[in-house]
Structure 1
Amino acid sequence: MSNHNLLSSTVKALQPRSLKYLSTSLQGLIRGKLWLQVLVGMFLGIVVGILMGPSLGWVSPADAAAISDWLALPGKLFLALIQMIVIPLVFASIIRGLAATEDLEQLKKTGFRVVLYFIFTTAIAIVIGITIANLIKPGQYIDQQALQLASLVEPIQSTEASGSPVLDELPQKIVTLLPSNPLSAMVESNMLEVVIFAMIMGVALVMMTPLQAKPLLDLMGSLQEVCMTVVRWAMLLAPIAVFGLILQLTAKLGIDALLGMAVYVLTVLLGLLLLLALYLLIILIVAKRHPLTFLNDIKEVLLLAFSTSSSAAVMPLSIKVAEEKLGVRPSISQFVIPLGATINMNGTALYQGVAAMFLAQVFGIDIGLGGMVLIVITAVGASIGSPATPGVGIVILAMVLDSVGIPAAGIALIMGVDRILDMCRTAINVSGDLVTAKLMDSWVGSSLSHHEEQLAEQQREQIRQRTGEDVLTNQVLKEET
Structure 2
Amino acid sequence: MNKESANSLTRRIVIGMLAGISLGWIFQWLLPTNGDLLIPLGFFDFAVRGFFVDGLFEIGGQIFVTSLKMLVVPLVFVSIICGTCSLTDTSKLGRIGGRAIALYLLTTAIAITIAIGAGLLFNPGEGVNMAAGTTFAATEAPSLTQVIIDMFPSNPFDAFAKGNMLQIIVFALLFGIAIALAGDAGERIAKQFEDFNEVIMRLVVILMNLAPYGVFCLMTTLFVDLSLSDFGSLIKYFFVVFGVLVVHALVTYPVILKVLTGLNPIIFIKKMRTTALFAFSTASSNATIPSTMNTATKKLGVHNSIASFTVPMGATINMDGTAIMQGVATVFIAQVFNVDLTITDFLMVILTATLASIGTAGVPGVGLIMLAMVLAQVGLPVEGIGLIIGVDRLLDMVRTAVNITGDSMVTLVVGKSEGQFDETIYNSADDTSRDRIDFHHLKD
Q: Tell me the TM-score normalised to structure 2 length.
A: 0.72
- Please list, as runs of the form range in 1=range in 2, the aligned pairs for 1:165-184 lying within 5 A after superposition: 170-184=144-158
Are 1:433 and 2:419 counterparts? Answer: no
Note the C-alpha offset of 1:241: 1.6
Note the C-alpha offset of 1:296: 3.3
Whether contact under 8 Å (1:50, 1:56) holds in the other structure is no
Whether contact under 8 Å (1:231, 1:313) holds in the other structure is no
Whether contact under 8 Å (2:10, 2:274) holds in the other structure is no
CA distance in 2, matches of 1:137, 1:229: 46
Note the C-alpha offset of 1:117: 1.5
CA distance in 2, matches of 1:173, 1:150: 36
* Residue type at the aligned position of 1:152: T
Note the C-alpha offset of 1:47: 5.3
CA distance in 1, matches of 2:113, 2:80: 29
Pick the aligned partner of 1:284 from 253, 258, 273: 258
Q: 1:29 to 1:326 in 2, by over 3 A?
A: closer
Are 1:210 and 2:196 counterparts? Answer: no
* Residue type at the aligned position of 2:240: T
Pick the aligned partner of 2:214 from 215, 221, 237: 237
* Counterpart for residue 267 of structure 1: 240
Are 1:98 and 2:84 counterparts? Answer: yes
Whether contact under 8 Å (2:317, 2:357) holds in the other structure is no
* Counterpart for residue 246 of structure 1: 223
Note the C-alpha offset of 1:266: 0.9
3-state SS in 1 of match to 2:110? helix
CA distance in 1, matches of 2:307, 2:391: 33
Q: 1:436 to 1:245 in 2, by over 3 A?
A: same
Whether contact under 8 Å (1:154, 1:407) holds in the other structure is no
Pick the aligned partner of 1:196 from 170, 180, 184: 170
Q: Tell me the TM-score normalised to structure 1 length.
A: 0.67
* Counterpart for residue 438 of structure 2: none
* Counterpart for residue 118 of structure 1: 104
CA distance in 1, matches of 2:269, 2:358: 29
3-state SS in 2 of match to 1:261? helix
CA distance in 2, matches of 1:95, 1:141: 54
CA distance in 2, matches of 1:51, 1:407: 40
Note the C-alpha offset of 1:215: 4.6
Note the C-alpha offset of 1:54: 5.5
Are 1:133 and 2:119 counterparts? Answer: yes
Write the deviation string for residues 244-292 of structure 1: whole angstroms up to 9, x where unpaired: 1221242xxxx33324332122111121123121111122322223443
* Residue type at the aligned position of 2:72: V
Q: 1:97 to 1:130 in 2, by over 3 A?
A: farther
Q: 1:233 to 1:365 in 2, by over 3 A?
A: farther
Note the C-alpha offset of 1:38: 0.7
* Counterpart for residue 41 of structure 1: 20
* Residue type at the aligned position of 2:270: N
The range that moved more, 98-107 or 36-45, is 98-107
- Please list, as runs of the form range in 1=range in 2, the aligned pairs for 1:396-435 lying within 5 A after superposition: 396-403=366-373, 404-405=375-376, 413-435=387-409
CA distance in 2, matches of 1:273, 1:37: 22
CA distance in 2, matches of 1:170, 1:236: 40
Whether contact under 8 Å (1:177, 1:193) holds in the other structure is yes
Write the deviation string for residues 41-93 of structure 1: whole angstroms up to 9, x where unpaired: 22442454366475997599999998657615244554444444434433333
Whether contact under 8 Å (1:264, 1:358) holds in the other structure is yes
The range that moved more, 418-427 or 261-270, is 418-427
Note the C-alpha offset of 1:309: 3.8
Note the C-alpha offset of 1:34: 0.9
Q: 1:223 to 1:382 in 2, by over 3 A?
A: farther
Note the C-alpha offset of 1:202: 2.9
Whether contact under 8 Å (2:201, 2:294) holds in the other structure is no
Note the C-alpha offset of 1:440: 1.8
CA distance in 1, matches of 2:239, 2:417: 35
Q: 1:372 to 1:111 in 2, by over 3 A?
A: closer
* Counterpart for residue 357 of structure 2: 380
CA distance in 2, matches of 1:342, 1:451: 30
Whether contact under 8 Å (1:134, 1:357) holds in the other structure is yes
Whether contact under 8 Å (1:68, 1:247) holds in the other structure is no
Aligned-pair Cα RMSD in Å: 4.4
CA distance in 1, matches of 2:42, 2:341: 39
CA distance in 1, matches of 2:411, 2:144: 31
CA distance in 2, matches of 1:127, 1:234: 35
CA distance in 2, matches of 1:375, 1:65: 47
Note the C-alpha offset of 1:233: 5.2
3-state SS in 1 of match to 2:126? helix
Note the C-alpha offset of 1:450: 5.8
Whether contact under 8 Å (1:379, 1:400) holds in the other structure is yes
What percent identity do the matched residue pairs reach? 30
Whether contact under 8 Å (1:301, 1:317) holds in the other structure is yes
Structure 1: segments with no counterpart, 5+ residues: 1-26, 157-161, 387-391, 455-481
Whether contact under 8 Å (2:124, 2:236) holds in the other structure is yes
Q: 1:272 to 1:373 in 2, by over 3 A?
A: closer
Whether contact under 8 Å (1:132, 1:267) holds in the other structure is yes
Write the deviation string for residues 12-35 of structure 1: whole angstroms up to 9, x where unpaired: xxxxxxxxxxxxxxx976155212
Note the C-alpha offset of 1:322: 4.3
Q: 1:190 to 1:293 in 2, by over 3 A?
A: closer
Q: 1:44 to 1:268 in 2, by over 3 A?
A: farther
